[in-house]
A and B are shown apart, each in its own frame.
Chain A
Amino acid sequence: MNPTKTVLVLASVVVVLITAGMMYSLTSGAIPVFKEFGLRFIVSSEWNPTEGREDYGALPFIVGTVLTSVIAIILCFPLAFSTSLFIGEYYRGTRMASITGTMVDMLAGIPSIVYGLWGFYVLRPMIVAFGWSAQGFSIFTAGVVLAIMIIPYATSITTEIIKMVSNDLKEAAYSLGATRREVIFSVIIPNARSGIFTSYILAFGRALGETMAVTMLIGNSNIVPKGIFQSGNTMASVIANQFGEADGLKLSALVAIGLLLFVITGIINGIGKLIIKKYSV
């Protein structure tokens, strides 16, 4: 075999090794906690690191992760979808669209910790002023910031898909006397449906794993939240929060949460990729 090709194949093996190594390290790190608590770890809402009475359950963090991400996607949808229509349909090809597109892209460039600071100093006082939460730390606060953070991911794919809808179809609808709104709802959206759906799935996957901004706004209480204006914790933020003083069983519990997060984001992204593959052929 050609030596150059051998080098290329060897390089590609690194990807396989990294992924397999990740699975191995996370699984072996998580084994002690699963041995101790079994599958109860996933459904239990206890989190007690006191020595001798240690008890760990991931439910509060799973619930917190899902709630914040769902709030984020609900808030993100009308904003990101309107922006996609703005850039890809109403103002397509104009200077205004390119400026708007650049600004949305800039949102993706802001580091997570800066979103956290902004949420803490600007958004949190507003939540307090509305009287929704006494301290302003809540699932909802974290969800709002997450929504802003995932807007660029949702917008960019949707915009591309909307632009790809064939002009013939749109013109046919216009020639029948359809208004622009009717073209959007009866031609563009039905044709771009799977692509739009996928871009929100992928944005949802992003929201699941966000750490810093959420850690700074969610209040970090290790209980299942009773409402969206209560404080809580997510899987990513509990790892960031509790890692510093963790060893033994507690470290294993955090690694197990990392493993769950790895698997869940993997599944979500896999579904997204599958839909893309199915419809792009």
Chain B
Amino acid sequence: MALRIRNQRQDFPGLSRRLAKDRLFKGGVFFLSMVTISPIVLIIYKLVSNGYRQINFDFFSKKAPDTYEAMVAVGAGEIIPGGILNGITGTLFMVLIASVMAIPLGLLIGIFLYDQKTKRYAGLVRDLVDILQGVPSIVLGLIAYFWVVKTITHGFSALAGSTALAIMMLPLIIRSTEETLKMIPETIREAGYALGVPYHKIILRVLIPSGFSGLATGILLAISRVIGETAPLMLTALGSMEVNLNIAKPTSAVPLLIWEFYNDPNMVDLIWSSSLFLMMIVLLLNLLSKQLIAKRT
């Protein structure tokens, strides 16, 4: 056996060199792939090891401390009092309003694109959706500043923040809705037509229920994409030290609080716990949507 292999190698000049190259390449691919996934491990480790001490009941039930309180606590070697309640409520509030704006609209437009697949106007809408999806979030912040802060609320506001987030969510929901509906067998819809079911009932009773998990996945992913956004909120919602549930007033959000903590030397200890919390929420939403996909298949 061994002899035969040796003979073969003599028959194919350069074979051992080619095999060595092959192994080397595979080793390189393996090594670089491990390098690629190392940041996620390093980042989670950093957040957990630096942040877990600050996470307690107060963290979720008290609003952010002022810089003096934080300074006293740090000086005494204690953990910083207070929490991020104003950020949590602000994030929930703004994401809720953004969802109210973007989800119904996104579903309708997704259904429209599915319905009119080949029409020229639908093609234009699809291209515009692609353009919207590529717009940097900071530019959406500028837009919401002009459309809402300058004209509607005449000051930084939760509504402006929600508008920026809604424009971000919209293309994601439209695309996922269209993709989901495409996978539903055409025959189901035709069966509905054959029975003389009106079109709005086909949408409500056939398309949405049979694509439900796909639609929900798209919505969850869209929410998880915007929940960590900071830049557009800096230009629109601004931030607030109080719990605010008025859409016309400046509002805080978890990422905005992280930014404030980062810029205040006394509060720096709070950035890790807040980041840990924010990331947990995002990962949870992702996990939930993956679960939904798994259920569907």
Using CB atoms and an 8 Å cutoff, list the residues of chain A in contact with chain B: 2-5, 7-9, 11-12, 14-16, 18-19, 21-22, 25-26, 29, 78-80, 82-83, 85-87, 90, 100, 103-107, 109-118, 120-122, 148, 151, 155, 177, 179-182, 184, 205, 208-212, 215-216, 236, 239-240, 243-244, 254-255, 258, 261-262, 265-266, 268-270, 273
Q: A106-B283, A211-B136 are in contact. List 10 more A-B contacts (CB 8 A).
A: A11-B109, A15-B170, A26-B143, A85-B33, A107-B39, A109-B224, A179-B21, A211-B230, A211-B231, A215-B231
CA–CA, A70 to B10, complex, Å?
Answer: 46
Contact yes or no, B143 A151, CB < 8 A: no
Within the complex, which residue of B113, B125, B137, B200 is in contact with A209, where a contact is CB–CB below 8 Å?
A: B137
The residue from B131, B139, B278 contacting A258, defined by CB atoms under 8 A apart: B139
Beta-carbon contact of A85 and B29 below 8 Å = yes
Q: Please name 21 pairs of A and B residues whose Cβ atoms are closer than 8 Å in the assembled complex, sorted by A.
A: A15-B125, A15-B129, A18-B170, A22-B135, A26-B143, A82-B36, A83-B36, A104-B37, A104-B40, A109-B279, A111-B255, A117-B275, A120-B262, A181-B21, A184-B25, A209-B136, A209-B137, A209-B138, A216-B262, A236-B136, A236-B231
CA distance A80 to B137 in the complex (A): 24
Q: Which of B41-49, B58-66, B75-83, B209-217 is found at the contact surface with chain A?
A: B41-49
Chain B residues near A177 (CB-CB < 8 A): 12
Check A113–B135 contact: CB distance below 8 A.
Answer: no
Please, which residue of chain A has its CB at the minimum distance from the CB of B202? A4
Chain A residues within an 8 Å CB radius of B134: 205, 209, 265-266, 268-269
Those of B187-204 within 8 Å (CB) of chain A: 198-200, 203
Question: Which residue of the partner chain, among B25, B174, B198, B255, contacts A113 with CB atoms under 8 Å?
Answer: B255
Any chain A CB within 8 A of the CB of B105? yes
CB nearest neighbor in A for B135: A262
Kindly state the separation between the CA atoms of A240 and B229 in the bound complex, as whole angstroms. 13
Tell whether B219 is near chain A: CB-to-CB under 8 Å: no
A63 to B224, CA, bound (A): 32
CB distance from B10 to the nearest CB of A (A): 15
Q: Is the CB of A122 within 8 A of B139?
A: no
Q: Are A212 and B230 in contact (CB under 8 A)?
A: yes
Chain A: CB-nearest residue to B145: A243
Q: Report B230 CB to chain A, min CB distance, Å.
A: 5
- Would you give the shortest CB distance from A182 to chain B, in whole angstroms? 7
Residues of chain B within 8 A (CB-CB) of A255 are 142
Report the interface size for chain B: residues with CB under 8 A from the other chain: 79
B108 CB–A CB distance under 8 Å: yes
Q: Are A114 and B224 in contact (CB-based, < 8 A)?
A: no
Give A127 to B133 CA distance when docked, in angstroms.
Answer: 34
CA A12 – CA B110 in complex, angstroms?
9
A12 → B minimal CB distance (Å): 5
Q: Which residues of A sit under 8 angstroms from B113, Cβ to Cβ?
A: 12
Taking a contact as CB atoms under 8 Å apart, the answer to whether A12 and B137 are in contact is no
- The answer to whether A82 and B28 have CB atoms under 8 Å apart is yes
Given A258-B139, A269-B131, A112 and B40 touching (CB < 8 A)? no
Asked if residues B231 and A212 are in contact (CB atoms below 8 Å), the reply is yes
Residue of B nearest to A144 (CB): B39
Residue B30, interface by CB 8 Å: yes
- Chain B, residues 83-112, CB within 8 Å of chain A (1/0): the string is 000000000000000000000010011011
**How many angstroms between the C-alpha atoms of A276 and B122 in the bound complex?**
18
B230 touching A15, Cβ below 8 Å = no
Residues of chain B within 8 A (CB-CB) of A15 are 109, 125, 128-129, 132, 170, 174
Please, which residues of chain A bring their CB within 8 A of the CB of B42?
118, 122
Residue contact B278 to A111, C-beta cutoff 8 Å: yes
Are B231 and A240 interface neighbours, CB within 8 A? yes
Which one of B18, B41, B271 contacts A179 once the chains associate, using CB atoms below 8 Å?
A: B18
Once bound together, how far apart are the Cα atoms of A122 and B142, in whole Å? 31
Q: How far is the CA of A18 from the CA of B25 in the complex (A)?
A: 49
Interface string of B118-133 (1 = CB under 8 A from A): 0001101101111111
Q: Is B282 an interface residue (CB 8 A)?
A: yes
Q: Are A111 and B282 in contact (CB under 8 A)?
A: yes
Chain A nearest CB from B281 CB (Å) reads 10
Q: Is B52 engaged at the interface, CB distance under 8 Å to the other chain?
A: no
Which residues of chain B have C-beta atoms less than 8 A from A266's C-beta? Answer: 131, 134-135
CB of B160 within 8 A of chain A? Answer: no
Closest Cβ of chain A to B293, distance in Å, is 12
In angstroms, Cα B47 to Cα A112, docked, is 14
- Known contacts A121-B46, A209-B136; A106 and B32 CB within 8 A of each other: no
User: Cβ of B159 < 8 Å from any Cβ of A?
Assistant: no
Inside 8 A of A148's CB, which chain B residues have their CB?
Answer: 39
Q: Min CB distance, B219 to chain A, in Å?
A: 16
